[in-house]
Amino acid sequence: MTTETIQAGSSVESACRKCKTVTDHHVVVMIDEKIGKVQCKVCGGKHAHRPPKAAPAPKAAAQPKAPAEKKPRASAAKKPAAPKKPSPEVLALWESKVASTAPGDVKPYAMAADFEDGDVISHSVFGPGFVQRFIKPNMIEVLFEDGLKMLRCCAEAPGSS
């Protein structure tokens, strides 16, 4: 080992995460008498000094381990939250709006379609729904049997131009 003092500008070996190996570095920052930051001579990256790790000592022949029993993950144990059911008042409002609309007036939902407040739509997944309001620039709030949903639509609400 050399007895030369290390100072800013000195050359040292450090583990570079960008290069993923131990490379030569220039010392950039000294904190007290310890190396603070270095700059890699290969990639130019600046980072905290990481002295190279010593070679691991050879291990004695290890006994093969029995496979460990897997524990269930905490996230796997959790059940997804049940969808929140709408209140009876909201459900009654949905039923009255959908029931009072003639089948010919029900608009099929499509993201490229235009909708107005009060329209009754038919969605392929959520079923019939009532457009409660238009949210600029391209969203509608729709009341379905299983609750309120936000859906995309194409254009701005009529009369807003």
Q: Is residue 136 part of a domain?
A: yes
| Domain range for 19 | 11-48
Contacts of 40 (CB under 8 A, 6+ apart): 14, 16, 18, 19, 23, 24, 25, 46, 47
pTM above the 0.85 mark?
Answer: no
Specify the pLDDT at position 144: 87
Q: Is residue 24 part of a domain?
A: yes
- Residue-by-residue pLDDT tens, the chain, 161 positions: 456 787 777 888 888 888 888 888 888 888 888 888 899 998 988 888 888 887 666 666 666 666 667 666 655 555 655 556 777 887 888 888 888 888 888 889 888 888 888 889 999 888 899 888 888 778 888 888 888 888 888 765 555 44
Q: Are residue 92 and residue 145 in the same domain, yes or no?
A: yes
Q: Is residue 71 part of a domain?
A: no
Count of structural domains, the chain: 2
